Amino acid sequence: MGKFADTIAIINTVRKETDTAVLFYSAGGKDGIALLDMLATRFNKVICYYMYLVPNLDHVQPYIKWAESYGNVEVRQIKHYQADAFEKFGFFMDEDDRYKLPKKDPNHKRERSVGEVEEWVRNDSGQHYAFSGMKGVDGYMKRMRLKMYAKTGYIRKEGMVYPLAVWTNKEVLQYIQSRNLIKPFVYNPNMVSQGFGIDLDTMLVMREKFPNDYARMIKQFPYSIKIIADYEAKQDKASAKC
């Protein structure tokens, strides 16, 4: 079978056990767009979990509305587990001292792991299986992890499912185009797989095209302004040499 047929076979394996699909949805990422289309046309209901670093971003809203336009799709927004590390260690913000409190203290906060978030989603949705658009071409660590899951048909006993594991970025984009789906959001045209992050590329795009989102980023991560300041200083220095 071809990649698409293999992918649908993986999806159908889960479909035989439930009429509700759960998807970790990136709201703008190509893999999430393609996989949502495959799921929404085969399940009675799809529950998307969009994990955010900064809530209520304007540029994300069209992707949430598009997902919900299927009619059988619900989007639930939850805080990204990576945000815990930002708070705990003070990445682009002041450290949250609640992470340092004794575990018995009622105000103690703990950093969530990926597995804990996956378990929380299973409990929240009432579903054992959850789909992810993770692909082997997205990085060495992901490729190694997916190789381990190949033996079980990219379906882990814990419930995570990876139907796009062997797809290339080009193939995903071709699927999106062939189905006339919403175009992915591009933060950096030179990095097809890059998603939203607290980095120069994202901040430049937000500052130029979505100033309200840029302001939200700075409010959430106030010290990230140094990224822009360093960039502008470098640009000024280069201009001075000309």
Q: Which two tokens stand for residue 227?
A: 């990224």
In the sheet where 45-52 sits, what is the strand order? 73-79, 45-52, 20-24, 130-131, 160-161
Q: Which two tokens stand for residue 111?
A: 């950093």
Residue pointed to by tokens 């409190």? 101
Please provide residue 150's backbone torsions phi and psi, each rounded to the nearest 5 degrees: -60, -35
Domains of the chain: 3-189 (3.40.50.620)
- 210: alpha, beta or left? (left if phi > 0; alpha if psi -120 to 50): beta
Please provide residue 32's backbone torsions phi and psi, each rounded to the nearest 5 degrees: -65, -40
User: Tens digits of per-residue pLDDT, 52-101?
Assistant: 999 999 999 999 999 999 999 999 999 999 999 999 999 999 999 999 99
User: Tens digits of per-residue pLDDT, 6-20?
Assistant: 999 999 999 999 999
Q: What is the pTM of this model?
A: 0.93
Are the C-beta atoms of residues 44 and 19 closer than 8 Å to each other? yes
Are the C-beta atoms of residues 47 and 78 closer than 8 Å to each other? no
